[in-house]
Amino acid sequence: MDKFTTLTGIAAPMPLVNIDTDMIIPKQFLKTIQRSGLGKNLFDEMRFTQDGQEIPDFVLNQPAYRQSEIIIAGDNFGCGSSREHAPWALLDFGIRCVIATSFADIFYNNCFKNGILPIVMPQDVVDVLMADARKGANARVTIDLEAQTVTTSDGQSFGFDVDSHRKHCLLNGLDDIGLTLEKAAAIDSYEATAATLRPWA
């Protein structure tokens, strides 16, 4: 997993609530057995017509936002299916950070496993960031994970919360499995006890 430390990039405004993972990556693209290559189908049904033509109005098709690395969105981003293909598609397109008023739990968790930083901000801050994002490609947003700040193109800075363990893993690009395997003795011991207490499990 790539580290996430700081990021300065274009933010795409997506002022919709309930952007679900079926929208982010429709089911026909879940048949891959790889993690890579999904970026071309990110938001497929919003981005392309049925015969594959770009829909010019869609934000990521607009010249100013084609290189977006950040998405600003409404409530409950990433709701629905647990498909990790959603963060894989975002990452493959080049999105490293999503800022919204709230996230669905599984999607939120999946982001951290892939080097994407999801940031929860209150509505008034999201409103400011959305307005800033609407200025286009010259308005670059800066995210500093160590300092836990988001700074708009005109220098307004906002703090955000992030779980300390997840922050540590993102900053260092750490693999969870490796960390957990260091606790193998604790797992062995738990299993031995559980085999006595709940032998049917």
Partner 1 sequence: MTAPRTLYDKIWDDHVVHRAEDGTCLLYIDRHLVHEVTSPQAFEGLRMTGRTVRAPEKTIAVPDHNVPTTLDRANAATMTEDSRIQVAALDKNAKDFGINYYPVSDVRQGIVHIVGPEQGWTLPGMTVVCGDSHTATHGAFGSLAHGIGTSEVEHVLATQTLIQRKGKNMKVEITGSLMPGVTAKDITLSVIGATGTAGGTGYVIEYCGQAIRELSMEGRMTVCNMAIEGGARAGLIAPDEKTFAYCMGRPHAPKGAKWEAAVAYWKTLFSDDGAHWDKVVTLRGEDIAPVVTWGTSPEDVLSITGTVPAASDFTGGKVEAAQRSLDYMGLTPGMNLTDIKIDTVFIGSCTNGRIEDLRAAAAILKGKKKKDGIRAMVVPGSGLVRAQAEEEGLAQIFIDAGFEWRLAGCSMCLAMNPDQLAPGERCAATSNRNFEGRQGRGGRTHLMSPAMAAAAALTGHLTDVRELMTEAV
Nearby residues of 101 by Cβ (< 8 Å), 6 or more positions away: 74, 75, 120, 121, 122, 123, 126
User: Rounded to the nearest whole angstrom, what is the least distance from the CB of residue 100 to partner 1 in the complex?
Assistant: 10
User: Rounded to the nearest whole angstrom, what is the least distance from the CB of residue 56 to partner 1 in the complex?
Assistant: 18
User: Rounded to the nearest whole angstrom, what is the least distance from the CB of residue 31 to partner 1 in the complex?
Assistant: 4
Q: How far apart are CA 52 and CA 45, in angstroms?
A: 9
Task: Based on the shown chain and the rule CB under 8 A, indicate whether residue 201 belongs to the binding site for partner 1.
Answer: yes
Task: Based on the shown chain and the rule CB under 8 A, indicate whether residue 162 belongs to the binding site for partner 1.
Answer: no
Taking the least distance from each CB to partner 1, the nearer of 56 and 199 is: 199
Q: Which of residues 31-60 bind partner 1 (CB under 8 A)?
A: 31-35, 45, 50
Nearby residues of 87 by Cβ (< 8 Å), 6 or more positions away: 107, 110, 111, 113, 114, 116
Among 165, 171, 172, 195, binds partner 1 (CB under 8 A): 165
Tokens of 126: 């999201």
Binding mask 103-142 for partner 1 (x = CB under 8 A): xxxx--xx--xx----------------------------
Taking the least distance from each CB to partner 1, the nearer of 154 and 192 is: 192
Taking the least distance from each CB to partner 1, the nearer of 11 and 46 is: 46
Cα separation of the two ends of the chain: 34
Beta-bridge mates of residue 119 = 99
Q: How far apart are CA 130 and CA 76, in angstroms?
A: 16
- Of all residues in the chain, what percent are helix, strand and coil, respectively (each to 5)? 40, 20, 45
User: Rounded to the nearest whole angstrom, what is the least distance from the CB of residue 137 to partner 1 in the complex?
Assistant: 24
Picking from 89, 1, 99, 82, the residue whose alpha carbon sits closest to that of residue 43 is: 89
Q: Which residues bind partner 1 (CB under 8 A)?
A: 15-18, 20, 22-23, 26-28, 30-35, 45, 50, 74-76, 79-84, 87, 102-106, 109-110, 113-114, 163-165, 176-177, 180-181, 183-184, 186-187, 190-191, 194, 197-201
